[in-house]
Amino acid sequence: MILSVLNHSFCYETENVLRIFFPLEKITVVPDLPPETENYALTVRKCENGQCTLFCAVLLGDKKEKREKTIPDGDEKEQELVLAQLLYEVLTALTGYTPPWGILTGVRPSKLMRSLMSSDGEEAASRYFRDKLFVSPEKTALARSVANAEDRIIALSTPESYSLYVSIPFCPTRCSYCSFVSHSIAQAKKLMPDYVRLLCEELKMIAGIANGLGLKLETIYFGGGTPTSLDERELATVTKAVADCFDVSAVREYTIEAGRPDTLNPEKLKIMKDAGVTRISVNPQTFRDEVLQTIGRRHTAQMIVDTFGEARKAGFDTINMDLIAGLPGDSFEGFCDSVEKAIALSPENITVHTLALKRASSLVTGGEAGTAARETCRMLSFAADALTQNGYFPYYMYRQSKSVGNNENVGWSREGQECLYNIYMMEEIHTVLAAGGGAVTKLKSPYENKIERIFNFKYPYEYISRFGEQAERKNRITAFYEELGK
């Protein structure tokens, strides 16, 4: 797909709108259309005599649509918005598809909603979503509900608050839809002793910095990968390092993404419980065995049910389960069945994801596009209705690029069981200090919208071989807070 940009610099926004409709196509941005271009989007701005005319035309095969609008010259943000609206209108007319999130392409729709509600009020914020961004009434209501649900959790954070993220970028196998920096345990086994040793060293370093600054640890979150891919000894070593370095008894929440049932057993559950972990995930993604096989998982739906029961027996009273809408080989009926089976187990949290097709995933490189956008929208609508009827409410939300239908991921919770870390991290409420391969420390000023990131090396072998370099980068944490006058 060719995107022609004439007399304006709104490439980012117009390209994003185009990607809503063509998430897997390569988009080439050019100033002028090459001769005999088959598929293109032409966007033009022409300003004179205090007026600005915005124009777009799209050709798809033998179908063509165009729109234009004239507005007063001067406000480039408004011009960018109008051009995006025109392009969206043309694309919906040509494709027959109306994306439920309209032209809103950001990762954090609830953060935008909260900001607008704070400045303009709830009704004005909702009108802006519907009238300016073309967000559907249902998704507007979802963003508003999440924004309201977050307020109580956000109020718990103080200027001294921070969260700790621990990265375990290993899995038993790699799922076909995954593009995260994750390695199978079989391939990475020889790296594990050094990885665990240095991870514990980094945790000690972070604790020293945080204590020196007088920061207060609110939540701990082990992510990955699948953290419980670690064997019993390794898991005990890392959780002991956390307990030795940080005051676990004072944290509000301690989560480990246990994830796959084939990585859990009673001994690991006991290790986590004894370490002070208060929340875990047991993630089905689907309860259909044939779909589990298609996406590269080596466990069955029955193993999910059995593991959930073992987690309850071990004393975990806050458990999350993940489901994914749009998995290859799944159907609307199959997804609905998975939602109902998850609800029947009555976990405290159920997170419903939309399949995101990334360039690094085998689904994309293998040429499969996953479930159609309309079918995925039906799945999400069913999940929202079923969860609401069974006492769950949406408490956090985010979106990923190239998600099927430009849809969202939503965390649903029982009353008072929300995952605090998810809100603090996704809404960028306070600093997150991160350890491990691929981890990103996010420094957040409590006094202004200032954010700074410190990146660890992505791959475990780099994390190990260049550990000294990333340890040096951590000095920036102290400097950041000193500049704030901490």
Write the DSSP assignment of 362-431 as a string of letters.
HHHHTT---S-HHHHHHHHHHHHHHHHHTT-EEEEEEE-TTBGGG-EEEEEE-TT---HHHHHHHTT-SE
- For residue 41, the 8-state DSSP code is E
For 76-80, which contacts have Cβ atoms below 8 Å and span 24 or more sequence positions?
79/8, 79/10, 79/45, 79/52, 79/54, 80/8, 80/10, 80/13
Q: Report the DSSP beta bridge partners of residue 60.
A: 63
Edge to edge, what strands does the sheet with 28-30 contain? 28-30, 2-6, 40-48, 51-60, 63-72
Residue 166 has which token pair? 């621990």
**pLDDT score at 365:** 30
Q: From the CA atom positions of the chain, what is the Rg in Å?
A: 24
Give the pLDDT of the chain (486 residues) as one tens digit per residue: 899 999 999 999 999 999 888 877 889 999 888 887 888 999 999 999 999 999 999 999 889 999 999 999 989 999 999 999 999 999 999 988 898 999 998 889 999 999 999 999 999 999 999 999 999 999 999 999 999 999 999 999 999 999 999 999 987 765 555 555 555 666 677 899 999 999 999 999 999 999 999 999 999 999 988 999 999 999 999 999 999 999 999 999 999 998 789 899 999 999 999 999 999 999 999 999 999 998 888 889 999 999 999 999 999 999 999 999 989 889 999 999 999 999 999 999 999 999 876 543 333 333 333 336 788 889 999 999 999 999 999 999 998 877 877 889 999 999 999 999 999 999 999 999 999 999 999 999 999 989 999 999 988 999 999 999 999 999 999 999 999 986
Strands (E), 13-75: 28-30, 40-48, 51-60, 63-72
Cis-peptide, bond into residue 225, ω within 30° of zero: yes
- Per domain, the residue ranges of the chain are 2-95, 109-152, 156-473
Phi, psi of 370 (to 5 degrees): 75, -170
- Rounded to the nearest 10 degrees, how much is the dihedral formed by the CA atoms of 259, 279, 140, 77? -80
Query: What pLDDT, on the 0 to 100 scale, is given for residue 402?
Result: 73
Report pLDDT for 406. Answer: 81
* 366 DSSP β-pair partners: none
* Cα(262)–Cα(185) distance, integer angstroms: 13
Question: What's the pLDDT at 38?
Answer: 83
Q: What confidence score (pLDDT) does residue 140 get? A: 97
Q: What does CATH list as the number for 156-473? A: 3.80.30.20
Q: Which amino acid is at 138?
A: E
- Give the integer Cα–Cα distance in Å for 268 and 311: 10
CA distance 352 to 284: 11
Predicted confidence at residue 369, as pLDDT, reads 36
Instruction: Please state, rounded to an integer, the average pLDDT across all residues of the chain.
Output: 91
Q: Could you give the CA distance from residue 401 to residue 406 in angstroms, rounded to a whole number?
A: 7
Architecture of domain 2-95: 2-Layer Sandwich (3.30)
3-state secondary structure of 297: coil
Q: What is the pLDDT of residue 74?
A: 87
pLDDT at 361: 35
| Predicted pLDDT at 186 | 62
Alpha-carbon span 126 to 139, nearest angstrom: 10
Q: Alpha-carbon distance 158 to 429, whole Å?
A: 9
